[in-house]
Amino acid sequence: MTKTWDAVIIGGGAAGLFCAGVAGQLGKKVLVLDHAPVLGEKIRISGGGRCNFTNVHSSPANFLSLNPHFVKSALAKYSSTEFIKLVSTYGIAYHEKHQGQLFCDDSAKQIIEMLMSECAKGKVSIRNPVSVESIAQDATGWNVHTNAGIEKTKAVVMATGGLPVPAIGATAYSLDIAKQFGLEVVDPRPALVPLSFTADTFGNLNDLAGLSVPVRIASGSKGHRYGACRFNEDLLLTHKGLSGPAVLQASSYWVEGEPIHIDWLGAIEVEGGFNCDALFNDDDNRLKLAETILSSVLPQRLAKAFAEQRNLGGRKWAEVSKKDRQALKELLTNWSVKPAGTLGWKKAEVMLGGVDTKDLDGQTMMSRAHPGLFFIGECVDVTGHLGGHNFQWAWASGFVCAQAL
């Protein structure tokens, strides 16, 4: 007699493996299918190889979705505290880096090993590499057709992630299945991604590659589908444009054709108690060069570039008119630039958009119209801020799904 699984999970990444382990330990017969020869590759490369596996402050405010309330139930049922407890049970050493971000001290591989051990505890069957060819429903349940035969199951969990990093096997399969069963899909777009600029936008700033500067950054707009944001983070100037945490965060909210706004002094104003007005008015600085004054708050190369942009290079502060000082202040505190685009899926960390949450039940992640069909992790229209929130979503959505299988 053909075996019928309680759940077949397509995709053995963060959400799929976690969901499988939890469901298996609840006594469910679970099969994970993945097309990749090695599982958990995104976890392995995450956080620079140390996996920023969650964030102690993770809350609904850290997520973008057409329905910002959708994440509430799952995050409440499985918070970062729960995942930290699990990591601690395995004796995995970790540290907090910045704004609640938790990283493994040693290696992201420890998180993969932990997920595999949880699956083993739940007697989960894992098969890879396997190609899933089609998924169909009949009166007896679900049939998952693979290159190695048909699997019969009571439930199908789509957990194939998002489109970033196609080189390690990212596909749109969950989105294709959603469309096949009539669920809406919010247009996918690269997010947490560096932004590119045309050569004329930057001019001499192009020589500044490698500089990292704390800034206040703003992008998006209230009327935009994901709203607007403001972050105090580090910005990195690169040969290709702008990157670093500030720009990655802003990229998720950026609307094509619109500018982003950078206050080069805003972050130190907030964090260092620095008074921007005093800098631009201070007559004690009369005999200093404009670039020397700016270099008290900015890296020297950047200070020089900004002074030169306003034709103030080599000029003493006393020689700079009030109007020019004002224009320089405006340039530094409200630098408005239009990105030409993003560096695309190759460089993105996550996908914005995905299976529309209006077609899913936030308590279980099940399709409202197709009982037994679930979507978890990055394939859903839920995108976290940088800093461990995307993994927290993978764990939380996988957990609530597992309870419902």
Task: Find the shortest distance in angstroms from Cβ 51 to ligand FDA.
Answer: 6
- Nearest distance from residue 377's CB to ligand FDA, in Å? 2
Report the nearest approach of ligand FDA to the CB of residue 125 (Å): 15
42 counts as binding ligand FDA under rule CB under 6 A:
yes
The contacts of residue 342 (CB under 8 Å, 6+ apart) are 190, 193, 194, 195, 196, 251, 254, 348
Residue 269 interacting with ligand FDA (CB under 6 A) = no
Beta-bridge partners for 327: none
Contact call for residue 16 and ligand FDA (CB under 6 A): yes
CA distance 151 to 109: 30
Q: Is the peptide bond before 214 cis (omega within 30 degrees of 0)?
A: no
Q: Does position 244 bind ligand FDA by CB under 6 A?
A: no
Residue 63 pairs in a beta bridge with: 384
Alpha-carbon span 327 to 312, nearest angstrom: 11
Give all strands (DSSP E) within 244-297, no chain letters: 260-263
Spell out, one character per residue from 350 to 379, where the chain touches ligand FDA: x when CB under 6 A holds, - when not.
Answer: x--------------------------xx-
Closer to ligand FDA by CB, 101 or 196: give it.
101
Closest to ligand FDA by CB, 5 or 280: 5
Give 177-183's long-range contacts (Cβ < 8 A, gap of 24+).
Answer: 177/10, 177/135, 177/373, 178/355, 178/359, 178/375, 178/379, 180/135, 181/367, 181/369, 181/370, 181/373, 182/369, 183/355, 183/356, 183/359, 183/360, 183/367, 183/369, 183/370, 183/375
Q: Applying CB under 6 A, does 39 fall inside the site for ligand FDA?
A: yes
* Closer to ligand FDA by Cβ: residue 33 or 87: 33
Query: What is the Cα–Cα distance from 58 to 79, expressed in whole angstroms?
Result: 8
Candidate ranges 75-83, 117-125, 154-162, 197-205; the one touching ligand FDA (CB under 6 A): 154-162
Check binding of 193 to ligand FDA (CB under 6 A): no
335 secondary structure, DSSP code: E
Comparing CB distances to ligand FDA, the nearer of 104 and 320 is: 104
Provide the mask over 116-145, with x wherever binding to ligand FDA is found by CB under 6 A and - wherever it is not: ----------------x-------------
Contacting residues toward ligand FDA, per CB under 6 A: 10-16, 33-36, 39, 42, 45-47, 51-52, 132, 159-161, 164-165, 169, 171, 173, 349-350, 377-378, 388-391, 394
